Amino acid sequence: MNLHILGICGTFMAGVAALARARGDRVEGSDAGVYPPMSEQLAGLGVRLHEGYLPGHLAADTDQVVIGNALSRGNPAVEHVLAAGLPYTSGAQWLAEQVLAGRRTVAVAGTHGKTTTTSLLAWLLDQAGLAPGFLVGGVPLNFGVSARAGAAGAPFVVEADEYDTAFFDKRAKFVHYRPTVAVLNNLEYDHADIYPDLAAIETQFHHLVRTVPGNGLLVVNAGDEALARVLARGCWTPVQTFGLDGGDWQARLLSPDGSAFEVRRHGELLGEVRWSLLGRHSVLNALAALAAAEAAGAPARGLLAALPGFLPPRRRMERLASAAPVEVYDDFAHHPTAIATTLAGLRAHPGGRILVALEPRSNSMRLGAHAAALAPSLADADRVVFLARPGLAWDTTPVLAGLDGRGEVVASADALVDRLAELVRPGDRVVFMSNGGFDGVQQRFLQALAAAT
């Protein structure tokens, strides 16, 4: 089949492209911005990329157009597809029909930690010899690609996003996947551009719960009140819970930064883990992945030894190389809870000051849905520099006031790099936080550090 993917450089759609190539399909695609790392992954697969959404990019022999959820009516390529009567589908529906059908699917859902937990679960199943397929909304460093087909008959692990599917299908993506095992990591308000309140997102999560069969399993965060409300609406599937303070799967921290912990299943001690990840949230991700891996056919006790070999996905507290005595991290955190837990884990780990460079870029952030919670989420930061681009829909003044002199605002990426270079001292830890490209400020800052030494 000849496919053309609109929005192909998004991590999810690039994964769809990789899976289509593995099936033997010819794949081309268009995007408004053709950039690494997905452009590099796609080029390596032999996928032809077009920059921009010109109707002429769609070949005459295209059998089907796969449309990403970033595209809407008025887009020139979308209008051409509709006017020409070309067959089209969404990425989530294509995945469900062409890849997941007939396979044992394990879906990882939640407001936070989906990418890391999905990557970790795929790694555990791989280390158990099951050769799983996977599609991750990022690039797992253990695999170097965002998606692979896996062995015939092997489980398939998918990051299950609650964002809407496409301009023509406003259901959450994850209702397409019909998993046998579903991880519900946590649930908070997000995606202010499409959901009016938390209750609306809880409804979407309950739609997911309704699709999991009675002979499957739900792996659920024991301490999450929103998820408890979701299950109270109705649940027809066995549930196993996980948590630090309760649950069927429990962890006890052996180090306050989360780098060492013991694991218990139904009260039975399975063993201890020492790894490079930090934070209580990372330990919870590990518990969820262990429970789901066991449900997928890999006994958990034998998987503990694989945890130290796990590398977090790119841009999930990814430590960047540095030419100076400064630790530099790149992180995707774009929700106050994720920001707070990430910085708390870093604060608990011995080290110098924490400097945060933050871009309010997600739709919820830009709309101001999280503005009131932003200053408290940065409590563990010693200094914060915001990149507040022109057109930000809310006033940063109250956030700065809540930081008690620890925060400041710049209006450009150049100014941010310059200001960080002025603030940084040997021994500092600098964390870049954005769910976008951040104009490459991470590497530009490293270059400034190198030039100063």
DSSP 419-430: HHHHH--TT-EE
3-state SS, residue 342: helix
Measured between alpha carbons, how far apart are the two ends of the chain, in Å? Answer: 54
Which is the CATH superfamily of the domain at 102-309?
Mur-like, catalytic domain (3.40.1190.10)
- Domain ranges within the chain, ordered by starting residue: 2-90, 102-309, 318-452
Contacts of 56 (CB under 8 A, 6+ apart): none
3-state SS, residue 210: helix
Residue 72 near residue 6, CB atoms below 8 Å: no
| CA dist., res. 244 & res. 74, Å (int) | 48
Q: What is the pLDDT of residues 167-194, one digit of tens each?
A: 999 999 999 999 999 999 999 877 667 8
Compute CA distances 437 → 17, 44, 383, whole Å.
Answer: 21, 21, 22
Minimal CA–CA distance to 94: which of 31, 23, 10? 23
| CA dist., res. 78 & res. 6, Å (int) | 8
Per-residue model confidence (pLDDT) at position 391: 67
Number of H helices, E strands in the chain: 14, 23
What DSSP designation does 321 have? Answer: P
Minimal CA–CA distance to 284: which of 428, 157, 117, 40? 117
| CA dist., res. 214 & res. 437, Å (int) | 42
CB atoms < 10 A from the CB of 125, how many? 28
Per-residue model confidence (pLDDT) at position 288: 97
The CATH code that applies to domain 2-90 is: 3.40.50.720
Over its length of 453 residues, how does the chain's per-residue pLDDT go in tens digits? 999 999 998 889 999 999 999 999 999 999 997 766 677 778 888 899 999 999 999 999 999 999 999 999 999 999 999 999 999 999 999 999 999 999 999 999 998 888 999 999 999 999 999 999 999 988 888 998 889 999 999 999 999 999 999 999 999 999 999 999 999 999 987 766 788 889 999 999 999 999 999 999 999 999 999 999 999 999 999 999 999 989 999 999 999 888 999 999 999 999 999 998 888 888 999 999 999 999 999 999 999 999 999 988 767 767 777 666 888 888 876 677 778 878 887 787 778 898 988 887 655 555 545 566 777 788 888 888 888 776 666 677 777 777 788 888 888 888 888 888 888 888 888 888 887 667 677 778 888 787 776
Is beta strand 318-320 parallel, antiparallel or unpaired with respect to 383-387?
A: unpaired
Per-residue model confidence (pLDDT) at position 189: 75
| CA dist., res. 121 & res. 206, Å (int) | 23
- pTM metric for this prediction: 0.82
| 365, containing H or E segment | helix 363-367
Per-residue model confidence (pLDDT) at position 392: 67
Backbone angles phi, psi at 203, to 5 degrees: -60, -40
318-452 and 102-309 share a CATH fold: no
Q: How big is the chain by its Cα radius of gyration, in Å?
A: 22
| 397, containing H or E segment | helix 397-402
Residue 383 near residue 423, CB atoms below 8 Å: yes
Topology, domain 318-452: Protein-Tyrosine Phosphatase; Chain A (3.90.190)
Residue 205 near residue 163, CB atoms below 8 Å: no
Contacts 24+ apart (CB under 8 A), 140-143: 140/311, 140/313, 141/311, 141/312, 141/313, 141/314, 141/318, 142/309, 142/310, 142/311, 143/119
Per-residue model confidence (pLDDT) at position 260: 95
Backbone angles phi, psi at 306, to 5 degrees: -85, -20
Per-residue model confidence (pLDDT) at position 36: 67
Backbone angles phi, psi at 77, to 5 degrees: -70, -40
Per-residue model confidence (pLDDT) at position 221: 96
Per-residue model confidence (pLDDT) at position 179: 98
